[in-house]
Amino acid sequence: MGMTITEKIMARNSGRDHVVPGELVWTDVHTVMTMDYLGKTCFDKFRSLGKTEVFNKDRVICVSDHLVPPPNQKFATMLNEWREVVKQHDITNFYDLGRQGIAHQIMVEQGHVLPGTISIGTDSHANTYGAVGAVGNAIGVTDAAVAMATGKAWFRIPKTVKFHVTGKWQPWVMAKDLSLHIMGMMNWNGHLLYKSIEFTGPAIESLSMAGRMTLCNMTVDLGAKNGIIAPDAITQRYLKDRAIGDWDMIASDEDAEYDQVYTIDISDLGPTVAMPGKLDDTVPVEKLIGTKFNKAFVGTCTNGRLEDIATIAKILRGKQVHRDVNMILVPASQTVYLQALREGYIETLIEAGVAVDTPSCAACAGIHTGVAGDGDIVLSAGNRNMTGRMGSKKAEIYLTSPSVVAASALTAVVTDPRTLSV
Amino acid sequence: MSTINTKIEAKAHVYGDHIDTDRIIPGKYTKTLDLSTLANHVLEDLDPNFNKIVQQGDILVAGINFGCGSSREQAPLALKQSGVSVVIAEDFARIFFRNAINIGLPVLEIGKHNIQKGAELSIDLKNGKVTDLSANKTYAATKLPDIMIAILKEGGLVNYLKKNGTYTL
């Protein structure tokens, strides 16, 4: 019996020829990521194991993303403690304020995740790493501390569910719409809990790395253990000057066994929106046309990449954000920010009345940079819309793609980007 | 951190589906690992009285997808510190599940159930059996692998590794 790509990666990294779902394995991890918010706790736990040296200084990746730049003294002090502990452990790859980005963006864009390997991180959206054909997995501080000490982690081999995606993407429809569509289709009823999601098919093969990252990123919100796309020519091109280490074109065996296979034709898929409070309560944008909102947010590990910024710049070029809307863009990393600046997107957006802020998790973590207050109605290109997620419990969050956010920012009501003349 | 028993008999506190990590311990308290702070605020948005009524050893019972949301380990830590001895749910969000094992809080999946608030439960962790003594009904839980029982017995993965140096699966 053949194996799926996730099973093969789990087998390969635990020194096994074959694994089957349900088995427990103790695997090698390629990289362990931790960040400012939980990193100090990770290192404290690591030391409680009686260790002082991490398993590999190049492969423990430290990122400042949740708390930077510090909006208050408390965070500034936390960051100082964090910097101290990173320094103390002589960590090679420390992406601190100035070189920062959202950890998941950093992990992929700086080449710290490789096809065929396993990388873990102390933040739920570590599933993003599946975009390059790695198993990316979110873990807690104990797992991270143990991995920092041993270079290993325990896993239960998940069953794999395949989403085979065919058809041609409509204009302005983005990977985010497919994520939200699947969220609504699966109705968050636990079908995908613990499982691996593998995306295949022509509509996936035509996706850029940015789109693939969005798609894999949100598999955690479906309850899945990981989301993965087998590496191909696009992956190869993307990793050419980034990958730190060797890798190969790993793929599922033809006779691999899947728990379920769903086929989706995206030819008819339009822009999609998740209603406030529940990720799986999704509707086509047409159903919400005219719905008022007052805050527009583009950023996060889901939609803060160059392609997303290019999309909103294209929509807003030469136009003005409606005066009843505050729109914020937070690029996913300094690298993305610089590229957007060089391409002229930042200038276009500032001219259109968009506030651009320093790369961080920003308001998605409800901590700083555009948090929501009482009565706010937010149209967000982020990943979570539960009550209170972006700040006030009396705010409402609609989740959608960057193109819907930008199109709607022009009118202060939900607008279908396909109806714009751009 | 204390070790656990594999046989537990106690009262059930029953809540619903999709209880996320923010409702287990609100994000504003998670910048601490101070256990008593965590325990004082556990489940407060879901049930402001929980912290007052929970007794050492009590059992938390929930529906589907318990612990969804963030990867914060404070969620199982807060429950453990408040006195909860085991969490029973139809199923768990995977990050919560592994965090719970790692910090030494037993978790058992029993699928659909009809356990009522205040029910007396008897739990056999090793054999994966949950008996509702009040309703005279037994549920078969997904059995935890021996290694997980061993980790739980030591009070979590850190203690287990300290004692054993390594582990094999």
Contact A200, A162 (CB under 8 A): yes
pLDDT tens, residue by residue, A150-160? 999 999 999 99
The tokens of A415 are what?
């607008």
What dihedral do alpha carbons A287, A349, A107, A237 form, nearest 10°? 90
Based on the fold, state whether residues A145 and A38 are members of the same structural domain.
yes
The verdict on A208 touching B (C-beta cutoff 8 Å) is no
Residue B169 lies in a domain: no
pLDDT of residue B166: 66
Nearest to A128 by CA among A45, A63, A56: A63
Alpha carbon separation from A65 to A37, A110, A123, A362 (Å, rounded): 8, 15, 11, 8
Choose among A37, A123, A223: nearest Cβ to B93. Answer: A223
Average pLDDT over every residue of A314-324: 98
Domain of residue B50: give its range. Answer: 7-164
Do residue A159 and residue A281 come from a single domain?
A: no
Interface test with A, best of B18, B65, B158, B162 (most A CBs within 10 A): B158
| Residue B51, domain CATH | 3.20.19.10
Domain final residue, candidates A239, A264, A289: A264
Do A255 and A319 have their domain in common?
Answer: no
Q: Which helix (H) or strand (E) holds A327?
A: strand A326-329
Average the pLDDT over A196-216 and give the result: 98
Closest CA to B60 of B126, B108, B131: B108
Whether A177 and chain B come into contact, CB under 8 Å, resolves to no
Residue B55 lies in a domain: yes
CB < 8 Å to A146, chain B: 102, 157-158, 161
- Whether residue A17 is found in the same domain as residue A143: yes
Residue whose entry in the numeric block shows the structure tokens 């991490």: A54
B156 occurs within a structural domain: yes
Both A225 and A342 in a single domain? no
Q: Percentage of chain A with pLDDT > 70?
A: 99
Q: Count of domains in chain B?
A: 1
Please provide residue B125's backbone torsions phi and psi, each rounded to the nearest 5 degrees: -60, -45
Q: Collect all residues of chain A within an 8 Å Cβ-Cβ radius of residue B145.
A: 24
Confidence of residue A4 (pLDDT cuts 50, 70, 90): very high
Pick the residue of A32, A128, A142 with the most B CBs within 10 A to test the interface with B by mutation. A142
Residue among B71, B73, B168 minimizing CB distance to A124 = B71
Angle at CA A143, nearest 5°, toward A138 and A144?
80
- B94, A154: Cβ pair inside 8 Å? no
Question: Are A243 and A305 in the same domain?
Answer: no
Mean pLDDT (chain B, rounded): 90
Residue B72: the pLDDT is: 86
Q: Which residues contact A209 (CB under 8 A, 6 or more apart)?
A: A108, A131, A132, A234, A235, A238
Q: Are A67 and A78 in contact (CB under 8 A)?
A: yes
- The Cα of A308 is separated from the nearest Cα of chain B by a number of Å equal to 25
Checking if the pLDDT of A173 tops 50, the result is yes
Q: How confident is the model at residue B169 (pLDDT cuts 50, 70, 90)?
A: low
Residue at which a domain ends, from A230, A264, A298? A264
**Which CATH number do you get for residue A403?**
3.30.499.10
B102–A140 CB contact, under 8 Å: yes
Residue range A56-67: average pLDDT?
98
| Interface contact B102-A189, CB threshold 8 A | no
Within this chain, do residues A10 and A39 fall inside the same structural domain, yes or no?
A: yes
Contact between chains at B167 and A26 (C-beta distance less than 8 A)? yes
Q: Please check the confidence at residue B63 and state whether its pLDDT lies above 70.
A: yes
Q: Is A117 on the interface with B (CB under 8 A)?
A: no
Report yes or no on B150 lying in a domain: yes
- My answer on whether A190 and A218 are in the same domain is yes
The answer on pLDDT for A272 being more than 80 is yes
Task: Report pLDDT digits (tens) over A354-366.
Answer: 999 999 999 998 8
pLDDT (0 to 100) of residue A219: 96
Cα–Cα distance list, A398 to A47, A186, A383, B21, B33 (Å):
42, 19, 10, 21, 32
Note the pLDDT tens digit of each residue in A256-265. 999 999 999 9
The predicted model gives B25-39 an average pLDDT of 79
Distance in Å from the first CA to the final CA of chain A: 51
Q: CB distance from A143 to chain B under 8 Å?
A: yes
Most A CBs within 10 Å, among B33, B73, B154, to test the A interface: B73
| Residue spans of alpha helices (H) in A120-222 | 141-150, 175-186, 202-205, 209-217
Annotated binding site of A: 301, 361, 364
Residue A28 shares a structural domain with residue A153: yes
pLDDT band at A190 (very low <50, low <70, confident <90, very high): low
Pair A346, A249 in one domain: no
Same domain as A312, residue A198: no
> What number of C-beta contacts closer than 8 Å exist between A and B?
88
Residue in A38, A143, A366 nearest the CB of B98: A143
Rounded to two decimals, the ipTM of the complex is: 0.85
Q: Which residues of chain A lie closer than 8 angstroms to B92, CB-CB?
A: 193
Q: What percent of chain B has pLDDT over 90?
A: 68
Name the residue among B64, B157, B166 with its Cβ closest to that of A142. Answer: B157
Q: Is the pLDDT of residue B32 over 90?
A: no
Minimal Cα distance from B76: which residue of A? Answer: A140
Question: Which residues form the domain of A227?
Answer: 5-264
Among A200, A49, A246, A219, CA closest to A126: A219
Could you tell me if A145 and A255 lie in one domain?
A: yes
- What SS3 string covers chain B? CCCCCCEEEEEEEECCCCCEHHHHCCHHHCCCCCHHHHHHCCCCCCCCCHHHHCCCCCEEEECCCECECCCCCHHHHHHHHHCCCEEEECCECHHHHHHHHHHCCCEEECCCCCCCCCCEEEEECCCCEEEECCCCEEEECCCCCHHHHHHHHCCCHHHHHHHHCCCCC
Confirm if A380 and A297 have CB atoms less than 8 A apart. yes
- What mean pLDDT comes out for the span A47-55? 94
A93 and chain B in contact, CB less than 8 A: no
Computed over its alpha carbons, how large is the radius of gyration of chain A?
Answer: 21
Mutate to test the interface with A, among B19, B65, B79, B102 (most CBs of A within 10 A): B102
Q: How far apart are CA A16 and CA A2, in angstroms?
A: 14
Last residue of a domain, one of A235, A264, A293: A264
Using a CB–CB cut-off of 8 Å, the residues of B that contact A are: 18, 20, 22, 27, 31, 33, 64-65, 68-73, 90-95, 97-99, 102-103, 145, 147, 156-158, 161-162, 166-169
Structural domain contains residue B1: no
Number of domains in chain A: 2
Residue B2 domain-assigned (yes or no): no
pLDDT digits (tens, 9 = 90+) for B140-159: 999 898 889 999 999 999 99
The pLDDT assigned to A301 comes to 98
Contacts of A197 (CB under 8 A, 6+ apart): A160, A161, A162, A163, A219, A222, A224, A226, A227, A228
β-pair type (A282-284, A272-274): antiparallel
Average pLDDT (B15-34) is 83
